[in-house]
Amino acid sequence: MKKQIALYAIVTAALLGAPAIIRAQDASAPTADAPAAPAKKHGLSAKGKIAAVDATAMTLTVGEQSFTATSDTKVSKNGNPATFADLAVGDSVSVSYKKGEADKLTATSITVGGKGKGKKKKSE
C-alpha cells in the first residue's frame, strides 16, 4: 500500500510539474509569430556652426557632416520654437540625429544658441 501511495505521489508530481516546465521553455524561446523588437540606437549629436543651409532641400551642414531635416524635426532658437527657415550660416547649433540607410543623417532636433542665453535688456 505504501508503495502505491508513493507511486501515485510521484506520478502526480510529474503531471503537475510538466506544464510549468513546458511554459518556462515557451517563454524563453521567441515564437515565429512574435515580431522582433527593433534594435535600439543611442541618440547621436553634433555641435558646431552652420557651414551651409538649404531651406528648400531642408539640409544643413555642420562641420563636415550634412543633415537632412524632416517635417518631424524640432527646431528651436534661443529656447523658443523656430522653423528650418530661421537657420542661418554661422549660427551655433546642436543637432540630434539618427543614422539611416546608406549612412544618411536625419536631424531629429536642431537647437540654435542656448536656452536662456539671450542678452537681457537693462531697465532704465
Nearest to 95 by CA among 54, 63, 57, 71: 63
Average pLDDT, the chain: 78
Does residue 18 register a pLDDT over 90?
Answer: no
pLDDT in the model for residue 37: 47
For residues 13-42, give the mean pLDDT: 56
Amino acid identity, position 16 = L
Supply 32's cell numbers.
Answer: 515565429
Within the chain, strands assigned E span 44-54, 59-62, 65-68, 74-77, 80-81, 92-99, 105-112
Give the N- to C-terminal CA distance of the chain in Å, as an integer. 105
- Of the two residues 61 and 17, the one the predictor is more confident about is 61
Most confident of 36-40, 42-46, 58-62, 119-123: 58-62
For residues 48-74, give the mean pLDDT: 94
Residue spans per domain, the chain? 1-31, 44-112
CA distances from 99 to 65, 74, 92 (A): 12, 17, 22
> Residue 80 and residue 59: Cα distance in Å, rounded?
21
Residues 43-58 have pLDDT tens digits of: 799 999 999 999 999 9
> Residue 63 and residue 93: Cα distance in Å, rounded?
11
Does the CA dihedral 81-84-86-91 come out positive or negative? positive
CATH number of the domain located at residue range(s) 44-112 in this protein: 2.40.50.320
Residues 90-104 have pLDDT tens digits of: 999 999 999 988 889
Does residue 76 register a pLDDT over 80?
Answer: yes
The answer to whether the beta carbons of residues 75 and 83 sit under 8 Å apart is yes
